[in-house]
Amino acid sequence: MTRALLAAALCAVAAAGSSLWPLVAQTAAAQSRAADATLPRLPDGRPDLQGLWLKSAGGFQGLFIGSLDGTNFAAPGGGGRGARAGGGPPAAPRYQYTPEAEAERQDRLKRGYEDPEARCHLPGVPRALDQPGGLYPVQIIQDEKYVALLHEAMHDVRIIPTDNSPHPSNYWAWDGDSRGRWEGDTFVVDVSNFNGRTWLDMAGNFVDENEHVVERFRLLDRDTIQYEATVTDPTVFVKPIEMRFTLKRVPPEQQILEYSCLEGERSLQHYTDEDGGKKRRAK
Amino acid sequence: MTPSRIVRVVLSSAAMAALLATAVPALMAQNDSRPAPFAPARLWDGKTPDFRGIWQARGNAEQNIEGRIVVDPPDGKIPYKPEALARRQQNYRNRATADPSLKCYQAGVPRATYLATPLQILQSPGNFAIVYQDNHAFRVFHPEGRPHFDATDWWMGDTRYRWQFDTLIADVVAMTDLAWLDHAGNFHSSEFHVVEKYRMTSANTLEYEARMEDPVVYSRPWTLRTTLYRVTQPGARIIEDECLEDANGVRHHVSPSDPRNLLKADYSKWKQGARP
């Protein structure tokens, strides 16, 4: 076993040739390779997450107008809209608001048209990836320093450094500040510094500026990424929310398109009173 | 042959060369026969030139590209057709409100390149993308060989690229006629076609050239060229640029380091919600 590892390490170093990838990473690479030789990898041994990916189903926004209720959470029992479509009772909520936040949520529930995404604002995390299933792909480009997520939806961009560097102190953003690291074959991203404007879905579920997310990207096979996110926000939720869904590789003959939202936005009118929004809300 | 005659012959061929040199630039701009001035580092495939990094234009070309970065025609003026020139003058007069960039729209090609804000080139073997800080616009460059996706008009267009030695050549179409080329109202129609060239001229400079073609608006193709400088400060990054609405619903750029960007700052306004 030790010999196999050593041989793999030597191979990795030899294959590296004149490239500038550090030797330490090469050794780690060899070990990972021993762990799962079937995954595509970059020269530093990290799983190659690159490609065009599409969420297949699930997440907070599993339905077009989705919500935290009843979509497929990681919690035992799974929930999932499949269960609801089958005629069973709605899955029990996997989240619990603090009393103040619950009142706020009820208020926002009546004001769905104020969803910032309807105003073409950045969706935040995890909503950036948690778009309605099968609609908007994400292009991943990766090197030894960054994993970059180019989202079609809202042309949202996250260029995530992989050096586990600290969050800045004077930065507040819709997408927060993302710092990544590799834990074996799993890409773990710590996201903080949110500006507090984010809604988690189109049903008034929200977080504030105390939101903190840990995301885990794991390549299950060549064409599947498992995505997990743990959302913590002590001033909004009593305990952390867990979510999990998979991204499937998009066939190479398809390409990412442009999503120009603000430039010719026509969606907001669906939320307004003039357009029947009020009537719908009253139902 | 007397010595004086030899000198005269040399002089006249020098004069010839000078004449040629003035006639040829337009041709060179198209075929770029100039030698590569700098050999960039390679990606880990050992082949692909490595353009990765954060780059930024200097100067104020974004205010008006004419007379600044337009290199062909030599007078630095865009060769508008007469009626198009009238439209440009109108744009110029209305620029304080009509510039689409002020509405926080994506800047378009080539304008996004020479804005005052930086861009970041993301690359790996077989992948090339540019992320522009301005309004978090991005372009994924697709390898040439598959036809353009030309069924619609986009702000950032559809880009196909190839490498010619160490120069990246990109062909861009499918652009909306709503975009401007600068704050002075220079514009194009939806027949706009751009050929871009990116090449490194030193470790920290990237030359950008764009040849513009638009039979509706211009009387002939024209070219702009500018230099992008590598942002070398440690820890430099593209920051999030998302505009916020003011009380009148008009969007403004707010830095993520500005506390106004925090919801708390105007939470009451947001919560009361000026109804749309």
Which residues 257-276 of chain B have a CB within 8 Å of chain A?
257, 259, 261-264, 267, 270-271, 273, 275-276
Question: A109 and A64 in one domain?
Answer: yes
Model pLDDT, residue A244: 83
Q: What is the C-alpha to C-alpha distance for residues B178 and B167, in angstroms, rounded to an integer?
A: 30
Dihedral sign computed on CA atoms, order B130, B117, B152, B209: negative
B22 pLDDT above the threshold of 50 = no
- Which of chain A's residues have a Cβ under 8 Å away from the Cβ of B149? 255, 257
Q: What is the C-alpha to C-alpha distance for residues B213 and B224, in angstroms, rounded to an integer?
A: 12
Dihedral sign computed on CA atoms, order A262, A267, A273, A274: positive
What residues are paired with A41 via a beta bridge?
Answer: A47
B256–A171: do the CB atoms touch at under 8 Å? yes
Model pLDDT, residue A59: 57
B58 pLDDT above the threshold of 90 = yes
Residue A266 lies in a domain: no
Q: Which two tokens stand for residue B72?
A: 């062909």
- Which of chain B's residues have a Cβ under 8 Å away from the Cβ of A19? 44, 46
Q: What is the C-alpha to C-alpha distance for residues A228 and A247, in angstroms, rounded to an integer?
A: 11
Question: A203 and A163 in one domain?
Answer: yes
A268–B149: do the CB atoms touch at under 8 Å? no
Span B119-143, average pLDDT:
97
For chain B, give the mean pLDDT.
85
CB under 8 Å to B164, separation ≥6 — which residues? B32
A11: enclosing H helix or E strand: helix A2-16
Which residues 178-197 of chain B have a CB within 8 Å of chain A?
178
B123–A141: do the CB atoms touch at under 8 Å? yes
Residue range(s) in chain B whose domain bears CATH number 2.40.128.20: 53-230
CB under 8 Å to A31, separation ≥6 — which residues? A5, A8, A9, A45
Question: A127 and A64 in one domain?
Answer: yes
pTM recorded for the entire structure: 0.81
Side chain identity at residue B43, one-letter code? L
Q: Which of A121, A139, A161 sits opposite B242 (nearest CB)?
A: A121
| pLDDT tens digits, B156-184 | 999 999 999 999 999 999 999 999 999 99
Rounded to a whole number of angstroms, the distance from the CA of A155 to the nearest CA of chain B is 6
Residue A263 lies in a domain: no
**Quick one: residue B16, left, alpha or beta (phi over 0 = left, psi -120 to 50 = alpha)?**
alpha
Residue A66 lies in a domain: yes
What size, in residues, is chain A?
283
Q: Which two tokens stand for residue B233?
A: 């400060």
Tell me B183's DSSP state.
Answer: T
Q: A240-265 burial, b for 16+ CB within 10 Å, e for fewer?
A: ebebbbbbebbeeeeebebebbbbee
Rounded to a whole number of angstroms, the distance from the CA of B112 to the nearest CA of chain A is 15
B131–A121: do the CB atoms touch at under 8 Å? no
- Which of chain B's residues have a Cβ under 8 Å away from the Cβ of A257? 149
**Angle (CA) A158 A220 A30, round 5°:** 90
| pLDDT tens digits, B230-270 | 999 988 999 999 998 877 777 888 888 887 777 655 444 44
Q: Which two tokens stand for residue B61?
A: 């070309």
What residues are paired with A199 via a beta bridge?
Answer: A206
ipTM of the complex: 0.83
Q: Which two tokens stand for residue B248?
A: 């009148």
Q: Which domain holds residue A15?
A: 2-35
What residues are paired with A249 via a beta bridge?
Answer: A53
Question: A84 and A136 in one domain?
Answer: yes
Q: Which of A43, A161, A260 sits opposite B155 (nearest CB)?
A: A260
Q: What is the C-alpha to C-alpha distance for residues A40 and A46, in angstroms, rounded to an integer?
A: 9
Residue A281 lies in a domain: no
Q: What is the C-alpha to C-alpha distance for residues B209 and B218, in angstroms, rounded to an integer?
A: 18
Tell me A119's DSSP state.
Answer: G
Q: Tell me the three state secondary structure of residue A95.
A: coil
Both ends of chain A: CA-CA distance in Å? 66
Q: What is the C-alpha to C-alpha distance for residues B106 and B138, in angstroms, rounded to an integer?
A: 9
Q: What is the C-alpha to C-alpha distance for residues A128 and A115, in angstroms, rounded to an integer?
A: 14
Q: Which of A43, A155, A172 sits opposite B137 (nearest CB)?
A: A155
Q: Which of A157, A175, A255 sits opposite B138 (nearest CB)?
A: A157
Q: Which of A18, A50, A156 sits opposite B127 (nearest CB)?
A: A50
Question: A56 and A86 in one domain?
Answer: yes
- Which of chain B's residues have a Cβ under 8 Å away from the Cβ of A273? 275
- How far from chain centre, in Å, is Cα B153? 18
Closest Cα in chain A to B139? A258
Q: Which of B131, B136, B156 sits opposite A258 (nearest CB)?
A: B156
**Quick one: residue A160, left, alpha or beta (phi over 0 = left, psi -120 to 50 = alpha)?**
beta
Q: Does B250 touch chain A (CB under 8 A)?
A: no
Residue A211 lies in a domain: yes
B257–A171: do the CB atoms touch at under 8 Å? yes
B88 pLDDT above the threshold of 80 = yes
Instruction: Indicate the number of domains in chain A.
Output: 2
Backbone angles phi, psi at A63, to 5 degrees: -100, 160
Q: Helix axis angle, A2-16 relative to A23-35, nearest 10°?
A: 130
Model pLDDT, residue A278: 44
Rounded to a whole number of angstroms, the distance from the CA of B124 to the nearest CA of chain A is 6
Closest Cα in chain B to A166? B235
B138–A155: do the CB atoms touch at under 8 Å? yes
Question: A91 and A210 in one domain?
Answer: yes
Q: What is the C-alpha to C-alpha distance for residues B264 and A155, in angstroms, rounded to an integer?
A: 26
**Mean pLDDT, 10 residues at a time, chain A of 283 residues:** 40 39 46 70 96 79 39 38 37 76 89 84 92 88 97 96 93 95 97 93 87 96 93 93 88 90 65 47 43
Q: List the beta strands (DSSP E) in chain A.
A: 51-55, 138-142, 146-151, 157-161, 177-183, 186-192, 212-221, 224-232, 241-249
CB under 8 Å to B13, separation ≥6 — which residues? none
What is the second-level CATH architecture of the domain B53-230? Beta Barrel (2.40)
Question: A107 and A26 in one domain?
Answer: no
Question: A165 and A230 in one domain?
Answer: yes
Question: A128 and A97 in one domain?
Answer: yes
Q: List the beta strands (DSSP E) in B81-204.
A: 119-124, 127-132, 137-143, 158-164, 167-173, 193-202
Q: What is the C-alpha to C-alpha distance for residues A89 and A79, in angstroms, rounded to an integer?
A: 10
Question: A59 and A30 in one domain?
Answer: no
Model pLDDT, residue A272: 52
Backbone angles phi, psi at B263, to 5 degrees: -60, -35
Question: A124 and A65 in one domain?
Answer: yes
HSE of B137 in the Cβ direction (CA atoms, 13 Å)? 26
HSE of B2 in the Cβ direction (CA atoms, 13 Å)? 3
Q: What is the C-alpha to C-alpha distance for residues B125 and B104, in angstroms, rounded to an integer?
A: 33
Residue A262 lies in a domain: no
Question: A169 and A95 in one domain?
Answer: yes
Q: What is the C-alpha to C-alpha distance for residues B126 and B45, in angstroms, rounded to an integer?
A: 10
Q: What is the C-alpha to C-alpha distance for residues B150 and B158, in angstroms, rounded to an integer?
A: 7
What size, in residues, is chain B?
276
Q: Testing the interface with B: which of A42, A197, A278, A281 to mutate, by most B Cβ within 10 A?
A: A197
Q: How confident is the model at residue B34 (pLDDT cuts 50, 70, 90)?
A: low
Residue A277 lies in a domain: no
Residue A46 lies in a domain: no
Model pLDDT, residue A160: 98
B137–A148: do the CB atoms touch at under 8 Å? no
Model pLDDT, residue A57: 64
Which residues 160-179 of chain B have a CB within 8 Å of chain A?
176, 178
Model pLDDT, residue A11: 38
